[in-house]
Structure 1
Amino acid sequence: MNTKLRKSVLGIAGLAFAGGLAAGPLNHHEPTSTATTPAAVVQADKAGGVDTAKLVPHGVQGAQSRIDLNDEQVGNVKAIIAATKKSGLDERAAVISIATSLQESKLENLGHLGDANDHDSLGLFQQRPSSGWGTPKQITDPEYSTMAFQKGLKQVDGWHNMPLTEAAQTVQVSAYPDAYAQWEQQAADLVAQHWNS
């Protein structure tokens, strides 16, 4: 079976499996409005010199959410990509990292949120100092927080071949384990756009 056909079949199987997932943000921090689009199978082509088939090797899972990004959020995307390269990881690690940050903070480097804070969660990935992720200053540094997330990712056997939501959940241990999947297409698009910029 050729690669393109195989990916299409796997993408459709993934859609059937995830067909019951609700669209929209399941983030437990604060609700936001997002647009959803039907899941699509990524075709093997090059965007900005990046092989998009490697960004989403299994096709996206379920309905996809998308938000418009401001300059600060785009800056955080670029910081995550730079930290990914510094960690010696590839574009797939950047997609997982950006999708995780989209779910956890909408790519905003969050400080303490008072009563709305989830325990002592901070930064792009809502990491907790009390759980050993680092100091508040470290966790709110985009490079440090990305590298800390990716250090956890590297410890997950077979992360590179897992569906995004499984890889992210294994590191994050979220109360909403399937929520990461909805951001995979936007994360892949952002990596394709900014990896070589």
Structure 2
Amino acid sequence: MSGTAARAAESYARAWLWRAAAPCALPVFAGLTLLLIPLAVIGAHEASTPTASSACSIGGTGATVAGIELDALQMGHAQTIADVAAARGLDAYAATVALATAYQESRVRMLANDGSSPELTGEQAAVTATSLQYPHDGLGSDHDSVNTFQQRWLAGWGTVAQLMDPVYAAEAFYARLVEVPNWQTVPLTQAAQAVQISAAGDAYARWEPLARELTAMLWPAAQATAADPGGAVAGVCPGLPVAAGSWIRPTAGTVTSGYGPRGGALHAGVDIAGPRDSPIYAAADGTVVIAACTSAYCDRDGSLSLAGYGNLVELDHGGGVTTRYGHLSAYTVTAGERVAAGTLVGFQGSTGNSTGVHLHFEVRQDGASVDPVPWLADRGVDLHASVAA
């Protein structure tokens, strides 16, 4: 599996149009019970407060496709692959080729690589193993191959950091696919093999029925997002059942930056980092005050040179208390909407003034920010508790 370098930043920027939900045909509630793990017991309530989980993603909660069961993570990556094709103006067959390839190579999972292949030098192994630093769904060890397509940094596909981004991975695949002569008319396995140059070049044909059915399911949403990337996306993840009056952790992941001075300014919240498009839930009952892009653009990742929260949701909980959810890849609510604690409000992203995927979470009392960690601790929620992402 080798190839040329992936597309440049312009194409990559457009790829962040993958914020759409999966079609309503998906049986999105099938895996609800997997989402709920007890986090904290609120003293005033008898029931355990469920924790946010990333078992559900922007792609849905799993589906059975061509007789094969795909979980939420696989469906999320499949939606990304379809969305990138639509964003690039490619047709559904491109997505079908890519999906068959991704299933053969990784079962549509973002695989890291521990660098244990005997084919690598010590230095190459060390670089390959840096893939473990990025969100991933499993571990591989085939040469220096990583991600859903098992692309190799040594073969010029991009840096390890780039290849561990599922959108970049899809962009890289399509950049090569469109260079294949007559790729739109040749057999799927021939097109895939021309891109991948695999030792098992005929294997892709086995997954063509799966890929065609997946494309039929995901393509309408991909086209809709490419045509109109603005606004709220439909919520496909089930909300969490939360006792009335309770507070919960808004998302899964790890606190990577706390409240306080940072870079000469006040970091007015905490950053909780998990996999891209991990669901974000309302921390308590409230009304949506803001659900909008607050930066110059939100259709792709931001940077430190870009001002604003990116996609932001703000909730008013009454009594002068508000919460903010920043840097979202997409939001699922609209201003004026009343939401219950545990309602899906968006997905983790890196829009706005951000350099990595995470949720920037704020608590404000009468307009002034307060440290969310002790504030939520007083309400039975430990933000520093280990919560799988």
TM-score calculated relative to the size of structure 2: 0.33
Deviations 1:14-51 (A, max 9, x none): xxxxxxxxxxxxxxxxxxxxxxxxxxxxxxxxxx8xxx
Distance 1:66 1:127 in 2: 27
The number of residue pairs the alignment matches comes to: 134
Change (3 A) 1:127 1:69: same
| Matches of 1:173 and 1:90, distance apart in 2 | 23
Which residue identity lines up with residue 90 of structure 1 in the other structure? D
The 2-side partners of 1:181 and 1:66 are apart by 16
Name the counterpart of 1:141.
165
Q: Which residue of 2 aligns with 1:159?
A: 183
Alignment partner of 1:123 is 2:124: no
In 2: Cα distance, 1:66 partner to 1:172 partner: 26
Aligned residue identity for 2:105:
E
Aligned to 1:105: 106
Which residue pairs with 1:85 in the alignment? 86
Larger Rg: 2
Matched residue SS, 1:175: coil
Does the Cα contact within 8 Å between 1:66 and 1:183 map onto a contact in 2? Answer: no
Identity of counterpart residues, as a percentage?
A: 43
| AA at the equivalent of 2:150 | Q
The one of 173, 177, 180 equivalent to 2:197 is 173
* Cα deviations by residue, 1:124-168 (Å, 9 ceiling, x for unpaired): 100000000011111121111111111101111101000000000
Distance apart, 1:66 and its partner CA: 5.5
TM-score, normalisation: structure 1 = 0.65
Which residue of 1 is the match for residue 220 of structure 2?
A: 196
Instruction: Name the CA distance, whole Å, in 2 between partners of 1:129 and 1:147.
Output: 15
Moved segments of 4+, more than 2 Å: 113-116
CA shift digits 1:87-128 (9 cap, x unpaired): 210100000000000000000000114535111000010000
Structure 1 pair 128–144 and aligned structure 2 pair: CA distance change class (3 A): same
Q: What is the alpha-carbon distance in structure 2 between the residues aligned to residue 194 and residue 85 of structure 1?
A: 10
Contact 1:104–1:126 (CA under 8 A) maintained in structure 2: yes
| Distance in 2 (alpha carbons) for counterparts of 1:113 and 1:194 | 32
Q: Give the RMSD, CA atoms, in angstroms.
A: 1.5
Q: Higher relative contact order by CA 8 Å / sep ≥ 6: 1 or 2?
A: 1
Is 114-123 or 167-176 further displaced after alignment? 114-123
Q: Structure 2: any 5+ residue segments left out of the alignment? A: 1-22, 24-65, 117-139, 222-389
Give the alignment partner of residue 150 of structure 1, picking from 156, 159, 174. 174
Letter in 2 for 1:121: S
Letter in 2 for 1:124: T
Q: Could you tell me which residue of structure 1 aligns to residue 74 of structure 2?
A: 73
Task: Give 1:67 shift.
Answer: 3.1
Q: Which amino acid aligns with 1:193?
A: M
